[in-house]
């Protein structure tokens, strides 16, 4: 394995990329190149084999209800490897639909319940009377974020002792209209409803880049310390 080649897994990009969420991966590739690293992005789709241990970073974008229904049927094959990867403190980033599928379920507008991986204690309910769309502005542990949201799914934490918000809202809706928080942070796993892409906010992108580099160094034997988990979490 090359010390300067970082492997990234992009889950179901052909189905879960409604708002061009893979732009986040392109930004990471650019920033990693600036740090003198090359990247290889594997797009993992329906029927593909996947072992998260082979990667320094895993990305999962958003999709519409139909695409989520299709992906939800294939995704359970990967639950064990994703859950192990997350709980070990490795970096993973999910947007919108990918966020929702990490929870126990997503109830659609038609009343159909899409079963998630149930890795994290959260659930999502589609509220047809409340489209959450527009600019968002929130504060994270890495500073402020300005981006864009467009969703009717409202996500709720089922265990607030385990899950913590990624950010506190200043403008916009975030997870839902009641809680005034955006996304979640669990160890080095981040979920968000932010598109545009989110990582145009370079303060956040740089922190994720450092997580990826540390994870890569552990994988290549250049670093023996596990990926650092945020002190707050």
Known catalytic membership, residue 96:
yes
Instruction: Tell me the C-alpha distance between 223 and 204, whole Å.
Output: 23
Residue 233 lies in a domain: no
Please enumerate in sequence order all residues whose Cβ is within 8 A of that of 228, keeping only pairs 6 or more positions apart, or say none: 89, 188, 211, 214
Which one of the listed residues 78, 94, 96, 151 is annotated catalytic? Answer: 96
For 75, list phi and psi in degrees, rounded to 5. Answer: -60, -35
pLDDT of residue 37: 97
- The average confidence (pLDDT) of the chain is 92
For residue 103, the SS3 value is coil
Cβ-based neighbours of 121, under 8 Å, separated by 6 or more: 103, 104, 157, 158, 159, 162, 163
Residue 164: active-site member: no
pLDDT in tens, 9-51: 999 999 988 777 889 999 999 999 999 999 999 999 999 999 9
Q: Which of 78, 123, 151, 195 is an active site residue?
A: 195
Q: Indicate the pTM of the whole model.
A: 0.92
Residue ranges, the chain, pLDDT below 50? 230-233
Residue 91: domain span = 5-219
Tell whether 231 is covered by a domain. Answer: no
pLDDT for 232 = 38
Q: Flag whether 224 is in a domain.
A: no
Task: Answer whether 14's CB lies under 8 Å from 45's CB.
Answer: yes
**Residue 229, domain member (yes or no):** no
Residue 94 lies in a domain: yes
- Residue 215 near residue 222, CB atoms below 8 Å: no
Q: Identify whether 134 is preceded by a cis peptide bond (ω within 30 of 0).
A: no
Beta strand 5-11 with 57-60: parallel, antiparallel or unpaired?
Answer: parallel
List the CATH number of the domain containing 143: 3.40.50.880
Would you say residue 225 lies in a domain?
no
pLDDT at 19: 75
CA distance 174 to 130: 12
What domain count does the chain have? 1
- Tokens read off for 133: 């769309």
pLDDT at residue number 108: 86
Tell me whether residue 227 is in a domain. no
Residue 58 lies in a domain: yes
């Amino acid at each position: 394995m090359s010390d300067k080649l970082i492997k990234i897994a992009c889950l179901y990009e052909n189905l879960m990329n409604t708002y061009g969420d893979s732009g986040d991966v392109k930004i990471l590739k650019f920033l990693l190149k600036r740090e003198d690293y090359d990247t290889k992005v594997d797009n993992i789709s329906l029927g593909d084999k996947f072992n998260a241990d082979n990667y320094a970073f895993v990305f999962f974008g958003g999709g519409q209800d139909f695409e989520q229904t299709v992906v939800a049927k294939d995704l359970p094959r990967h639950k064990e490897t994703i859950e192990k990867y997350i709980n070990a403190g490795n970096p993973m980033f999910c947007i919108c639909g990918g966020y929702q599928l990490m929870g126990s379920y997503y109830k659609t507008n038609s009343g159909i319940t899409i079963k998630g991986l149930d890795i994290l204690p959260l659930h999502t309910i589609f509220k047809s009377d409340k489209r959450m769309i527009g600019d968002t502005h929130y504060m994270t542990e890495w500073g402020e974020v300005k981006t864009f949201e467009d969703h009717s799914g409202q996500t709720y934490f089922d265990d607030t002792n385990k899950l913590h918000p990624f950010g506190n809202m200043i403008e916009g809706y975030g997870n839902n209209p009641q809680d005034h928080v955006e996304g979640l942070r669990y160890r080095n796993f981040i979920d968000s409803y932010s598109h545009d892409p989110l990582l145009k906010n370079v303060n956040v992108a740089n922190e994720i880049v450092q997580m990826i580099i540390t994870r890569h160094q552990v994988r290549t034997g250049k670093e023996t310390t596990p990926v650092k988990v945020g002190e707050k979490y």
